[in-house]
Chain A
């Protein structure tokens, strides 16, 4: 087998390799630029505490984008599920019921999305934009705009199990990596995941090869909802606080992590490994830049540069033809060949 494929191609085919390399290079650059911070272990423990919600969201969104769909409603799940958990801990004193109902509320949001998209036929970008307003607004109503301070939540077994520390090591990192591993298996080794890839590749083909497109899409949005709720639980417990706009900053960061990781915006092709690396890149740039002495103002600009470099890099490596054409277009040496329909 390996004789057929050139070794170089094999190496490039290792999932997510280019972007993992980018992550490592970034770490090395930060080590050189700010050795006093990046040669110690504390900064990494801090990343492992703060990146998990982003990582869980991005890993789940990878499957959605693999199927050629999008979910804009997860920031509202972070708010809604966080409120459910906060309410049950703060007002009712039953964290486990709160945990289960938080996940259930995420599933409900996902199910409604799935029905709107797969049964009613509303494009996912519109449907989830609408439900993003709906559930976010509902959370504000339910919480009366108030936040919950959950100061003594770290006494709970739930807290210790989900976001406790083993020595300096934050437990949520293990949960997030376990979620990512599980979602990798779902995407690459389960019938469901394969069906999502075919749906994203070409929904008509998926239909004629026997994929129940509607059912699989609904299942996918439910999974996304539950994962967003889990991310919300990790976030709320780690912050020991709920506030009704707590999902707000995640939308663009999560999408950036997915696309930096090499998942195709056109669907049909997705890398969970790449998403994991992308999440850490997104989570690291801010702290890294501040530690190297650059002003915090630079963060978004640098993320933008890494983002563009990653996307162009994926294009060149994975689709050399199109990649070359894009580069040509970019630098204007030749006009790209234009295909005219007969």
Chain B
């Protein structure tokens, strides 16, 4: 691991101290064929800031975070991590991991048929001297994580369980635990509460508050405005690939926020109709 970290460390060394924004995007465009998913997007996240990203389906939220997490390469624009510019030709999921940016993707970011220990370490396996995966070590860490961090004691869930044996909430727990284990400075959550039971939603919200308390940053995408209004320091509203509005915590009530979004939607209606 250490060797790989130094290889890519030049643009934004995670150990550097003197930075204001964990990530900043300027004038980012993203087109898929003839569809403009993002146009001229400016977006930034501070050191210890929880940013709630809201907007309707197709507003470009998921595209935006797929760019931040290294899955997609933007068509145009610039990105800084810890105030240092990224070389976008080099940027990848692996590099995002090395820069301690972790993403819990919408729905599923786990391999269903694979055991939990593989899921925790895939993409950055613990390997021995000859490049073989240290299965024993990976299992140990996974088991420890399951019992300590997630509290899966006595559920009959072990490091060897496959993901398809788990409930939706448990899967989300694994995905979040993976992000925690790798000590992310920025955790990106893409609709983590979709399809979760109420009690499990509470756990996710507690986790987001824990991120804040731990001095880290979070981009939190959420359909449910009540959830995101509760935990976010700043709310960013996206609309059809553009930044539409921004609110600091306390500047807007949940009711006002809801009205604003409905107004936006009706605006579309008028344009179309």
B243 within 8 A of A: no
A140 within 8 A of B: no
B124 lies within 8 A of A210 (CB): yes
Contacts of A206 in B (CB 8 A): 111, 122
User: A13: nearest residue on chain B (CB-CB)?
Assistant: B160
The smallest beta-carbon distance between B178 and chain A, in angstroms, is: 9
A191 lies within 8 A of B133 (CB): yes
Contacts of A189 in B (CB 8 A): 132-133, 135
The count of chain B contact residues (Cβ–Cβ below 8 Å) is 31
Contacts of B112 in A (CB 8 A): 201-202, 268
B103 within 8 A of A: yes
B122 lies within 8 A of A211 (CB): yes
A201 lies within 8 A of B93 (CB): no
Cα separation A4 to B161 with both chains bound (whole Å): 11
Contacts of A259 in B (CB 8 A): none
Q: With A191-B131, A210-B92 known to touch, is A205 a contact of B110 (CB < 8 Å)?
A: yes
Q: With A189-B133, A190-B131, A197-B118 known to touch, is A208 a contact of B111 (CB < 8 Å)?
A: no
B114 lies within 8 A of A1 (CB): no
Q: A194, A201, A209, A264 — which one has the most chain B CB atoms within 10 A of its CB? A: A209
The smallest beta-carbon distance between B33 and chain A, in angstroms, is: 14
Cα separation A195 to B123 with both chains bound (whole Å): 8
A201 lies within 8 A of B114 (CB): yes
A202 lies within 8 A of B132 (CB): no
A269 within 8 A of B: yes
B135 lies within 8 A of A269 (CB): no
A197 lies within 8 A of B93 (CB): no
B127 within 8 A of A: yes
Partner of A210, one of B93, B113, B143, B158: B93
Cα separation A212 to B124 with both chains bound (whole Å): 12
A264 lies within 8 A of B97 (CB): no
Contacts of A197 in B (CB 8 A): 111, 113-114, 118
Q: A5, A191, A202, A210 — which one has the most chain B CB atoms within 10 A of its CB? A: A210
Chain A 192-219 residues near chain B, CB threshold 8 A: 194-195, 197-198, 201-202, 205-212
The smallest beta-carbon distance between A317 and chain B, in angstroms, is: 14
Contacts of B105 in A (CB 8 A): 208
Partner of A208, one of B71, B135, B160: B71
Partner of A205, one of B108, B125, B143: B108
Contacts of B94 in A (CB 8 A): 210
User: A202: nearest residue on chain B (CB-CB)?
Assistant: B111
A209 lies within 8 A of B122 (CB): yes
A1 lies within 8 A of B110 (CB): no
Contacts of A208 in B (CB 8 A): 66, 69, 71, 93, 103, 105, 109
The smallest beta-carbon distance between A308 and chain B, in angstroms, is: 23
A252 within 8 A of B: no
B214 within 8 A of A: no
Contacts of A185 in B (CB 8 A): 132
Cα separation A201 to B113 with both chains bound (whole Å): 6
Cα separation A211 to B112 with both chains bound (whole Å): 16
B156 within 8 A of A: yes
A268 lies within 8 A of B113 (CB): yes
Cα separation A202 to B70 with both chains bound (whole Å): 18
Q: With A5-B158, A191-B133, A210-B124 known to touch, is A264 a contact of B109 (CB < 8 Å)?
A: no
Contacts of A13 in B (CB 8 A): 160
Contacts of B118 in A (CB 8 A): 194, 197-198
User: B110: nearest residue on chain A (CB-CB)?
Assistant: A205
Cα separation A202 to B113 with both chains bound (whole Å): 9
Cα separation A197 to B94 with both chains bound (whole Å): 18
Cα separation A50 to B65 with both chains bound (whole Å): 55
User: A201: nearest residue on chain B (CB-CB)?
Assistant: B111
Contacts of A1 in B (CB 8 A): 143, 158
Cα separation A164 to B109 with both chains bound (whole Å): 50
A205 lies within 8 A of B109 (CB): yes
Q: List 6 A-B contacts (CB under 8 A).
A: A1-B158, A194-B118, A198-B111, A198-B114, A198-B118, A208-B93
Closest 4 CB pairs of A and B: A210-B123, A210-B93, A201-B111, A268-B113
Q: Which residues of B contact A (CB under 8 A)?
A: 66, 69-71, 92-94, 97, 103, 105, 108-114, 118, 122-125, 127, 131-133, 135, 143, 156, 158, 160
Q: Which residues of A contact B (CB under 8 A)?
A: 1, 4-5, 13, 185, 189-191, 194-195, 197-198, 201-202, 205-212, 264, 268-269
Please name 15 further chain A to chain B contacts, defined as beta carbons within 8 Å, in addition to the given A202-B111, A210-B94, A211-B123, sorted by A numbering: A13-B160, A185-B132, A190-B133, A191-B127, A197-B118, A198-B118, A201-B111, A205-B110, A206-B122, A207-B93, A208-B109, A209-B93, A210-B97, A210-B123, A268-B114
